[in-house]
Amino acid sequence: DRCKSGLDLKTMWVEIGLILVEILTACADGLTMEGCENGWTFHKHLCYQLNSDPYGTLTHGEAIAVCMAKGADLTSVWGKKERDFIAQELLSTSKEESAWIGLRQDYRGNKYVWTWSDGSPADEASWKYGNTDDFTGLCGILRTDGTEDLRNCTDPLRTFICKKNLKMWYVVSDVFENAYRDEDFSVEPQKLLFERVWPPKVELINDYLKHLAKTTVSKETDCAYKCFRANACRAFSVQCIVNWNCEKYDCEVYRPNAF
């Protein structure tokens, strides 16, 4: 399968040594090749999930709540490319012909404004329908043919699409090499550089890294600094808390199990 044919991986990691290459070319348990959780589809540094329940239906508000429970949002659709991706790659695999997307009106500053449920502005809808209360109680759907429309927000739909940020992993560039060669972690931390692990390999993280702490930071470099300051930290992961506006990140720091 795709994960085991890892030619790209071998090229990427060739300096690091054969042992690591073997680990990296095995498929991750919890993550897809691109680093989304299993069951999510990667597209342009975001992860999407089609939810389609043949036995149950949800209102727009309930679909938002389910996505939020997964640490995601009901998807926003920021343009034609994203709309086509969702319609062709995700919706086409469902039996339903339409799905909830995050479009709805928000009452802001005395007027109704079309907004995506993740908080991003829905300019196309504002332009098309106007920011008036004529559409109160209506929410966005996307059809398999790639067209958007409005439905009563309380209508029962079987299908909706969640979207979330990719979690990015960074490791000290030589941590694993050291671990294998002589288990020597006495290298001065300021001499170590963090490298993005791409594609991320969760089994690598699980098997070789132990969770130290989770915190909120405003930049990826702040997370690197937290790791640098934490005793024995040699890796970290960061993920935007809000998928359309990376002002804050969840930062998690790790140390090698072998330490």
Residue ranges in contact with ligand NAG by CB under 6 A: 137-138, 152, 154
The nearer residue to ligand NAG, 33 or 150, going by C-beta atoms, is 150
CB 139, min distance to ligand NAG, A: 10
Q: What is the DSSP string of 168-234?
A: EEEEETTHHHHHHHT----S-GGG--EEE-SS--HHHHHHHEEEEEEEEESSHHHHHHHHHHSTT--
Sheet arrangement for strand 194-196: 194-196, 168-172, 235-240, 249-256, 209-217
Closest CA to 200 of 40, 48, 30: 30
The nearer residue to ligand NAG, 63 or 168, going by C-beta atoms, is 63
The nearer residue to ligand NAG, 103 or 209, going by C-beta atoms, is 103
CB 77, min distance to ligand NAG, A: 21
CB 173, min distance to ligand NAG, A: 56
CB 74, min distance to ligand NAG, A: 18
CB 153, min distance to ligand NAG, A: 7
The nearer residue to ligand NAG, 54 or 137, going by C-beta atoms, is 137
CB 9 within 8 A of CB 199: yes
The nearer residue to ligand NAG, 39 or 137, going by C-beta atoms, is 137
Where do we find the tokens 């939810």? Answer: 51
Closest CA to 148 of 173, 114, 176, 180: 114
Where do we find the tokens 């920011």? Answer: 131
